[in-house]
Amino acid sequence: MRTMPDPPPTGEDAIIQEFLAPLAAGAPGARSLRDDCASLTPPPGMDLVLKTDPIRAGIHFFADDDPADIAWKALAVNVSDVAAKGATPLVYMLALSFPDYPQRSWLQGFSQGLRTAQEAFGCHLTGGDTDRAPGPVSIAVTIIGAVPHGQMVPRGGAKPGDGLYVTGTIGCAALGLALRSGTVPNGASDVTMNDAEREALIARYLRPQPRLALAGVLRRYASAAMDVSDGLAKDADRLCRASGVAGVLRLADVPLGTVARRRVAADPALLPRLVTAGDDYEILCAVPAANEAAFRAAAMASGVVVSRIGHMQQGTGLTTFGPDGSLIGLGRSGWDHFPPV
């Protein structure tokens, strides 16, 4: 709780100039956010990769999250998509909507979080819009990345025989969300998790880490890729459908963090929940058999852990095998804003 007065700043132009224009200093086409549009001279020989993925309070983040974390997430979820396409981010547009005048301290934290994120991801703010409307705070990033002409890694390029890989670990963000929202017992009696582990899981939810280091490796070796944001099983199914192939997912091979491993050992029913939860922001990709060894070596060299969790075959749909090797159904496969009612 603040005890000092924190009068909200006024004037769209003044808010933009004080808090956002400094983030555009590295983008010449942003014109210090003093023009109606930004310009971008495309890098020669490159295609641009475009993505917009807005986040809204109460849906994608908690209204009382640290504004620096909210800013990080707003940019990271978009960078994650760009990375999965084998591209690197260049610039982003930012459309902010507030139900009321934002507090100065909130804007300061938010802009500082954006600065940290854009420096980590190597991109710059180049334009946007700020308005006031009822409803949750809404932060809509549209990102523009670059990839060598014709080399964007598609979702639909997988072929039968390809290995199915995922980066990092799955389910940590879901556990972090549960901790953040208080739905996991969090008291002293919970001996399976120490404070550092708890913090790390919450950080996985609050601060997704886009796997940008893998972008070049994907371009070189992957036949298809996408980021995992709506649940591993759902996104794997999407990759299969887009590619016109069937997929086999082996839950025994899905990489879990240490806490998730302990919890799944105690309660095997948790595993299907972790592979159908969202917010992982890992990369799922298909790799032709002939490339698999080189892919694994290049991924290791890039510092990104990859795990083979299945493969592609002739047919349609995703088949999932449980830890004991038996065929299982997952029920809902992941997040949908408009599920059947």
The residues in 213-252 that bind its own copies, with binding defined as CB under 8 A, are 226-227, 238, 242
**Closer residue to its own copies in complex, CB, 30/193:** 30
Q: What is the rounded distance in angstroms from the CA atom of residue 303 to the CA atom of residue 73?
A: 22
- In the complex, minimum distance from the CB of residue 154 to its own copies, in angstroms, rounded to a whole number: 6
**Closer residue to its own copies in complex, CB, 6/129:** 129
135 scored as a contact of its own copies (CB under 8 A): yes
306 token code pair: 């990859």
The span of 38-46, 106-114, 116-124, 194-202 binding its own copies (CB under 8 A) equals 38-46
74 scored as a contact of its own copies (CB under 8 A): no
| Cα–Cα nearest to 216, from 169, 163, 146, 168 | 146
- In the complex, minimum distance from the CB of residue 337 to its own copies, in angstroms, rounded to a whole number: 4
**Partners of 47 in beta bridges:** 147
| Cα–Cα nearest to 155, from 53, 240, 59 | 240
**Closer residue to its own copies in complex, CB, 24/309:** 24
Angle in degrees, 0-180, between the axes of helices 195-206 and 67-84, rounded to the nearest 10:
70
76 scored as a contact of its own copies (CB under 8 A): no
- In the complex, minimum distance from the CB of residue 39 to its own copies, in angstroms, rounded to a whole number: 5
Side by side, the strands of the sheet bearing 317-321 are 224-228, 282-287, 163-167, 306-313, 246-250, 317-321, 327-328
- In the complex, minimum distance from the CB of residue 80 to its own copies, in angstroms, rounded to a whole number: 9
Cβ-based neighbour number of residue 103 at 10 Å: 16
211 scored as a contact of its own copies (CB under 8 A): no
**Closer residue to its own copies in complex, CB, 131/267:** 131
**Closer residue to its own copies in complex, CB, 53/280:** 53
The span of 94-102, 173-181, 205-213, 261-269 binding its own copies (CB under 8 A) equals 94-102
**Which residues have CB under 8 Å from 64's CB, separation 6+?**
none
35 scored as a contact of its own copies (CB under 8 A): yes
Give, as ranges, the residues between 153 and 192 that touch its own copies (CB under 8 A): 154-156
What SS3 state is found at 320?
strand
Gyration radius (Cα) of the chain, Å: 21
Near its own copies by CB under 8 A: residue from 20, 23, 38, 206: 38
99 scored as a contact of its own copies (CB under 8 A): yes
- In the complex, minimum distance from the CB of residue 8 to its own copies, in angstroms, rounded to a whole number: 8
285 scored as a contact of its own copies (CB under 8 A): no
Phi, psi of 224 (to 5 degrees): -155, 150
What SS3 state is found at 220?
helix
